[in-house]
Amino acid sequence: NSIWVSTDHDEIERVAKQFGAQVHRRSPEVSQDSSTSLEAIREFLNHHPEVDIVGNIQATSPCLHPSDLIKVADLIQKEGFDSVFSVVRRHQFRWSEVKKGENKMTEPQNLNPAKRYRRQDWPGELYENGSFYFAKRNLIEKGYLQGGKMAYYEMRAEHSVDIDIDIDWPIAEQRVLSFGYFGKEPLKEVKLLVCSIDGCLTNGRIYVTEDQKEMVSYDYRDIVGVDLLKKRGIQVRLLSDRDCSKTLAAIQLGCTAKVGTANKLQVLEDWKKDMGLSWKEIAYLGNEESDVECLKKAGMSGVPADACALAQKAAGYICKSSGGCGAVREFAEHIFLLLEKVNSARKQ
């Protein structure tokens, strides 16, 4: 019924609201390193008597798909379970631990060494994977996330990712590329990147000399990013509200550009039609209110870190880099990562 982010951090609150979530500000008492999720949830319920079911989704499980959550919600709302939690099936043989200095031998925990199972002959065991915990209010108020009439929900192994230590991070990134959720429609090969010039390719600042000449600055990494896109067969075109033809001539990118345009979306639609592309085959990098409609239409959309709030809300990806400081190169690398997802899906 509603989506909330529980946090005590101003930046997390800002980003959560940009993407349409509501925010519950945690108190210092439940924001300690030793605080548990249950403590934060109980505090949330104290402020929201209208809530009768809580689905706690763990941010450390980035391969969770909405279809799983819909099925779990049905287990509680339609089938009468009090709590449902996620598990994954593993085929691992467990042995007892022998601490240093103990005069003991290890013992098998879930196997007979004389009759070891082959993986394909053994059903394995169910382990909690930490992706989510759903529970009714009355159970949580008693201090439990699991209890009453319980059910587990078995997730597919490829969707079961738990980031716990540093080494888990690169593994999770590759899992997301191969098995992550990218929306209902399949990704398509990007064939065109359209980039706003001022504030994306440049930092948006205009320097004026005493003889009234304008100067702008750009980052060489962004030029490399444009070249990499071209080498991958992706056309790059540029847009600007103002006439900055001299700037483009100085940078010498060799890209088709439309400057001094009052309607970026119309230009984008004309390019789309001329090239015979679908919106899914177009990526767009913008930073201002004039880019919002283009960001909403494009199959892939991004903004620099310092883009305006409306542009950030419309974009699918927010760069860590600011405009004119590597944002184009960063967005190009983001496109390449998502294209790996396309290629992986085709191979499968």
Tokens of 40: 């934060």
* 192-346: in CATH 3.40.50.1000: yes
pLDDT averaged per 10 residues in sequence order, the chain, 348 residues? 92 88 94 92 95 93 92 94 96 93 92 87 92 96 95 94 88 80 70 91 77 75 91 91 71 82 93 93 94 92 92 89 92 86 61
Concatenated DSSP letters of 270-285 = HHHHHHT--GGGEEEE
Long-range contacts of 183-188 (CB under 8 A, 24+ apart): 185/280, 186/345, 187/280, 187/299, 187/338, 187/339, 187/341, 187/342, 187/345, 188/278, 188/280, 188/281, 188/299, 188/342
- What does the pLDDT read at residue 345? 57
Superfamily of domain 52-91+122-165, CATH level 4: Spore Coat Polysaccharide Biosynthesis Protein SpsA; Chain A (3.90.550.10)
Tokens of 75: 């287990």
The set of catalytic residues is 116
CA dihedral of residues 36, 38, 44, 48 (deg, nearest 10): 180
Report how far residue 181's alpha carbon sits from residue 184's, in angstroms, rounded to the nearest whole number.
8
The domain locations on the chain are 52-91+122-165, 192-346
User: Of the candidates 129, 123, 132, 125, which has an alpha carbon nearest to the alpha carbon of residue 160?
Assistant: 129
Say which DSSP state 334 is in. H
- What does the pLDDT read at residue 187? 62
Tokens of 135: 């529970």
Report how far residue 46's alpha carbon sits from residue 263's, in angstroms, rounded to the nearest whole number.
49
For the whole prediction, is pTM greater than 0.85? no
